[in-house]
Amino acid sequence: MTEILTPYTGERGAVIPVLQKVQQSFGYLREDAISKIAKFFRVSESEIFGVASFYAQFRFTRPAEHIVKVCLGTACHVRGGEQIMEAMRRELGIHSGNITEDYKFGVDRVACFGSCALAPVVVIDDKVYGRLTPTKIKGIVDKHR
């Protein structure tokens, strides 16, 4: 943590770049990191938290290793997107908005990827999987285990 903070000594306006570097390093803003940043800048922890919570780019919980996004836009919905979401829930044992206990997978529902010709679509990390059926979900998830 010291190696992140040291280059910003005396730069009071550097809170956001420091938060970005800390999140890049740990994957999220841990409570102990917020405390150290507050001490470094000689401000309260609530002030640092206030800055970080204002911006959508910062997160306060550990992210999953693999982010699964299930499209439920119009084309995907019409072509079975809800069944894909249900198959993903069964395979991973979690609902949308949650992370598996081992932090391996997180699942979110999204409105549209703009890949309607491939509907229904799931994106895992940056890989697009299209023309899915519920029976294909296990194989796709297994590729990322």
DSSP 35-89: HHHHHHHTS-HHHHHHHHHHSTT--SSPPPSEEEEEE-SHHHHHTTHHHHHHHHH
For residues 10 and 47, membership in a common domain is answered with yes
Q: Please report whether residue 45 resides in a domain.
A: yes
What b-and-e string marks burial along 16-40, b requiring 16 or more CB atoms within 10 Å of the CB? Answer: eebbbbbbeeeeebbeebbebbbeb
**CATH number (domain holding residue 121):** 3.40.30.10
Backbone angles phi, psi at 112, to 5 degrees: -170, 140
For residue 61, being part of any structural domain is answered with: no
Q: In this predicted structure, what is the pLDDT of residue 10?
A: 77
CA 102 to chain centre: 15
Residue 12 inside a domain? The answer is yes
Average pLDDT over the chain, rounded to an integer: 95
| pTM for the predicted model, two decimal places | 0.78
d(CA 120, CA 115): 9
Residues 75 and 102 in one domain: yes
Eight-class DSSP state of 116: G
pLDDT tens per residue, range 64-85 = 999 999 999 999 999 999 999 9
Q: Domain check: are 128 and 84 in the same one?
A: yes
For residue 106, list its beta bridge partners: 67, 99
Q: Is residue 60 domain-resident? A: no
pLDDT at res. 12? 75
- In this predicted structure, the answer to whether residue 17 has a pLDDT above a threshold of 80 is yes
Q: 45 with 85, same domain?
A: no
Let me know whether 136 and 73 are in one domain: yes
Long-range contacts at 1-6 (CB < 8 A, ≥ 24 apart)? 1/33, 1/36, 5/36, 5/37, 5/40
Do 29 and 78 belong to one domain? no
- What pLDDT, in 10s, does the model give residues 31-51? 999 999 999 999 999 999 999
75 and 134 share one domain: yes
The answer, yes or no, to whether residue 129 has pLDDT greater than 80, is yes
- pLDDT the model gives residue 122: 98
Three-state secondary structure call for residue 123: strand
Instruction: Please give the pLDDT value at position 37.
Output: 96
Domain around 18: 2-54
pLDDT given at position 13: 86
70 bridge partner residues: 109, 122
